[in-house]
């Protein structure tokens, strides 16, 4: 094979059909291969005066220069420009990449012959990581290799299979549903079934809170994962990982306690906060506020979980002290000597269970008022109610669950307003009011006592809308034996006196005497203070100054 000096060979852009060049990494791999073994396949050139023009083999020529070669094996051919373009196109179009199976066979053979992975990489033009990936495929059981000749799994399946012991691979390919056959021939390989049969728990080194290198754990590199990704190095030593992880969490808790933080470690098997604590969602987990307890736990995947919570009893006591301080402050401010201070608001004479019962029956009454004949309004009114509903805390979160909840909102409601093609359906004002009323009934829930702001209850919105639709008229009677059990006897005697009902004796006798005797008694009705409107400054988006004229 003649060797021609490289400085006599020139490119010919007019006959080069390839416009998308190989990447830098591919060029580096080919350069390393040429440096190790030389150019194994000659390039083709044609004479051009005192030198030569390349027909095909431009990348080999470029990498030979990078490898430091001064000569390159060459085939000299006489051809016109047209034939040079045809030859270049044919050479590129018919070139086929080496099948992955053949790649790993070549790598395995070179390693078996005594080469180290980097040397094998240079010899066949692969970078070191690709070579180590191919070497990993050398672990494949012959039964798996036979299936790969039919179809290749994707990289993630291939990685899971190659990282399993060969004996386990042989068992996995016999899993039910792994291979489908027709007339004795393979028709389909379900690689996901084989992968699932080989699935083992692997914990990522990136989640370790401890010194992974000094831990003594065996970390296995996944050469199919992207370098630097969380799954590049993993261990199957779950017990050892969690032993080190728990020790690291203990040390972390001690460090936090040294900073005067209250820290508790949760059992990973339960991962629930102890009874009597309420989780805080808007706090700084690195710098918790006074009164916050930091709860640390380790998830099943090894990730550290940090949560903040308040102790219910402590928070309740603190709230009581704050209320007492506010009362004392009011008593000491704005009163002349001898002037009596305003009386503190009386304690509600109904238990929390009773207040919850009130919230429940008010919710039911609101639904009846919205969905029943009581709800007869103009279209403008329903628009008003719908706008108010958007202020409800729960509207953005959840409608009621069950057959009359999410499913109806997501399917039936839309189906009554839109055709399958998405165009509006004709709906009368009466039908729109009925649909809107039913939607509101599903969205609104009356708040109970001490309802947290992040609950699904509707807050003041339910009270406002209930008053507007006269939901008080739909409230049931409260003079039932079940409800009267929740009311203090002193309050019952006061109510009885106002109603002209004579009662006497112990609490049980008073309650029994009032059952069915207080038809007009309403311990709670719909209504709440209106919202505080914050003035909008001129120029803010909300003042409408930046809106275009709708006309």
Most confidently predicted of 160-174, 356-370, 419-433:
160-174
Check residue 413 and give its pLDDT. 59
Check residue 54 and give its pLDDT. 86
Q: What is the torsional sign of CA 71, 75, 81, 87?
A: negative
Q: Are 117 and 135 in contact (CB under 8 A)?
A: yes
- As a whole number of angstroms, the distance between CA 408 and CA 486 comes to 36
**Higher-confidence position of 67 and 404:** 67
The DSSP line for 165-229 is -HHHHHHHTTSTTSEEEETTEEEEE-HHHHHHHT----EEGGG-SS-TGGG----EE-TTSPTTS
Q: What is the torsional sign of CA 328, 329, 332, 335?
A: negative
Q: Kindly tell me if the per-residue pLDDT of 17 is higher than 50.
A: no
- As a whole number of angstroms, the distance between CA 28 and CA 393 comes to 60
Check residue 403 and give its pLDDT. 43
pLDDT, tens digit, 9 for 90 and up, residues 289-304: 888 999 998 888 888 8
For the chain, what is the mean pLDDT? Answer: 76
Q: Are 122 and 35 in contact (CB under 8 A)?
A: yes
pLDDT, mean of residues 456-465: 83
- As a whole number of angstroms, the distance between CA 537 and CA 155 comes to 58
**Higher-confidence position of 530 and 540:** 530
Q: Kindly tell me if the per-residue pLDDT of 329 is higher than 70.
A: no
Check residue 284 and give its pLDDT. 81
Most confidently predicted of 110-124, 153-167, 249-263, 487-501:
249-263
- As a whole number of angstroms, the distance between CA 426 and CA 418 comes to 9
Half-sphere CA count of 225, side-chain side, radius 13 A: 14
- As a whole number of angstroms, the distance between CA 504 and CA 513 comes to 9
Least confident stretch, 43-57, 62-76, 83-97:
83-97
**Higher-confidence position of 445 and 417:** 445
The phi and psi torsions of 72 (rounded to 5 degrees) equal -145, 140
Residue carrying structure tokens 């030389």: 38
Its pTM surpasses 0.85: no
| Three-class secondary structure of residue 524 per DSSP | coil
Least confident stretch, 111-120, 131-140, 234-243, 464-473:
131-140
Kindly give, in sequence order, each residue whose CB lies less than 8 Å from that of residue 400, ignoring residues fewer than 6 positions away.
Answer: 406, 442, 443, 445
List the one residue out of 106, 142, 108 whose CA is nearest residue 125.
106
Half-sphere CA count of 393, side-chain side, radius 13 A: 14
- As a whole number of angstroms, the distance between CA 368 and CA 470 comes to 10
> Which tokens belong to 479?
């003079």
Percent of the chain having pLDDT more than 70?
67
Q: How confident is the model at residue 540 (pLDDT cuts 50, 70, 90)?
A: very low
Check residue 381 and give its pLDDT. 55
Q: Kindly tell me if the per-residue pLDDT of 240 is higher than 90.
A: yes
Check residue 322 and give its pLDDT. 75
Least confident stretch, 206-210, 228-232, 239-243, 346-350:
346-350
Check residue 301 and give its pLDDT. 82
List the one residue out of 186, 229, 223 whose CA is nearest residue 205.
229
- As a whole number of angstroms, the distance between CA 33 and CA 19 comes to 24
Check residue 216 and give its pLDDT. 92
Kindly give, in sequence order, each residue whose CB lies less than 8 Å from that of residue 266, ignoring residues fewer than 6 positions away.
Answer: 272, 273, 274, 295, 296, 297
Percent of the chain having pLDDT more than 90?
13
User: Backbone dihedral region of 49: left (phi > 0), alpha (psi from -120 to 50 degrees) or beta?
Assistant: left
| Three-class secondary structure of residue 153 per DSSP | coil
Least confident stretch, 12-21, 49-58, 215-224:
12-21
């Amino acid at each position: 094979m003649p060797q021609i000096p490289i400085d006599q060979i020139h490119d010919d852009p007019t006959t080069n059909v390839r416009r998308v060049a190989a990447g830098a990494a591919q060029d580096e791999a080919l350069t390393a291969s040429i440096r190790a073994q030389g150019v194994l396949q000659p390039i083709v050139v044609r004479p051009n005066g005192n030198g030569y023009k390349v027909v095909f083999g431009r990348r080999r020529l470029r990498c030979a220069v990078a490898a430091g070669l001064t000569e390159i094996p060459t085939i000299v051919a006489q051809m016109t420009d047209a034939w040079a373009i045809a030859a270049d196109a044919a050479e590129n179009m018919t070139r086929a990449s080496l099948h992955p199976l053949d790649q790993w066979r070549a790598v395995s053979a070179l390693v078996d012959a005594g080469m180290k992975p980097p040397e094998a990489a240079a010899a066949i033009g692969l970078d070191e990581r690709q070579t180590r990936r191919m070497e990993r495929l050398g672990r494949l059981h012959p039964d798996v290799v036979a299936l790969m000749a039919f179809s290749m799994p994707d990289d993630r399946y291939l990685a899971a299979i190659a990282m399993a012991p060969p004996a386990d691979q042989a068992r996995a390919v016999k899993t039910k549903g792994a291979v489908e056959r027709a007339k004795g021939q393979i028709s389909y390989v379900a690689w996901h079934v084989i992968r699932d049969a080989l699935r083992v728990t692997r914990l990522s080194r990136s989640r370790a809170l401890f010194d992974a290198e000094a831990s003594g754990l065996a970390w296995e590199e996944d050469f199919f994962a992207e370098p630097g990704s969380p799954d590049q190095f993993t261990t199957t030593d779950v017990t050892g990982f969690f032993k080190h992880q728990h020790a690291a969490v203990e040390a972390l808790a001690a460090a936090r306690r040294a900073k005067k933080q209250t820290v508790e470690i949760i059992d990973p098997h339960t991962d629930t906060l102890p009874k009597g604590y309420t989780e805080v969602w808007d706090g700084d987990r690195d710098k918790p506020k006074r009164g916050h307890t930091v709860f640390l736990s380790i998830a099943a995947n090894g990730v550290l979980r940090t949560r903040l919570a308040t102790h219910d009893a402590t928070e309740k006591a603190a709230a009581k002290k704050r209320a007492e301080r506010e009362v004392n402050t009011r008593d000491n401010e704005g009163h002349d000597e001898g002037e009596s201070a305003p009386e503190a608001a009386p304690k509600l004479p109904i238990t929390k269970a009773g207040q919850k019962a009130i919230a429940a029956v008010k919710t039911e009454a609101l639904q009846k008022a919205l969905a029943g004949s009581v709800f007869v309004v103009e279209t403008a009114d329903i628009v008003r109610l719908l706008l108010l509903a958007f202020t409800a805390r729960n509207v953005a979160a959840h409608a009621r669950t069950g057959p009359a909840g999410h499913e109806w909102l997501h399917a039936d409601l839309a189906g009554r307003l839109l055709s399958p093609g998405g165009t509006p359906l004709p709906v009368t004002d009466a039908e729109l009011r009925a649909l809107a009323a039913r939607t509101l009934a599903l969205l609104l829930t009356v708040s109970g006592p001490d309802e947290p702001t992040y609950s699904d209850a509707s807050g003041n919105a339910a009270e406002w809308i209930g008053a507007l639709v006269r939901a008080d008229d739909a409230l049931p009677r409260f003079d039932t034996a079940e409800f009267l059990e929740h009311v203090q006897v002193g309050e019952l005697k006061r109510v009885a006196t106002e109603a002209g009902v004579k009662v006497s004796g112990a609490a049980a006798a008073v309650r029994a005497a009032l059952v069915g005797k207080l038809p007009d008694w309403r311990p709670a009705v719909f209504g709440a203070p209106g919202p505080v409107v914050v003035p909008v400054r001129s120029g803010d988006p909300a003042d409408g100054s930046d809106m275009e004229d709708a006309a």
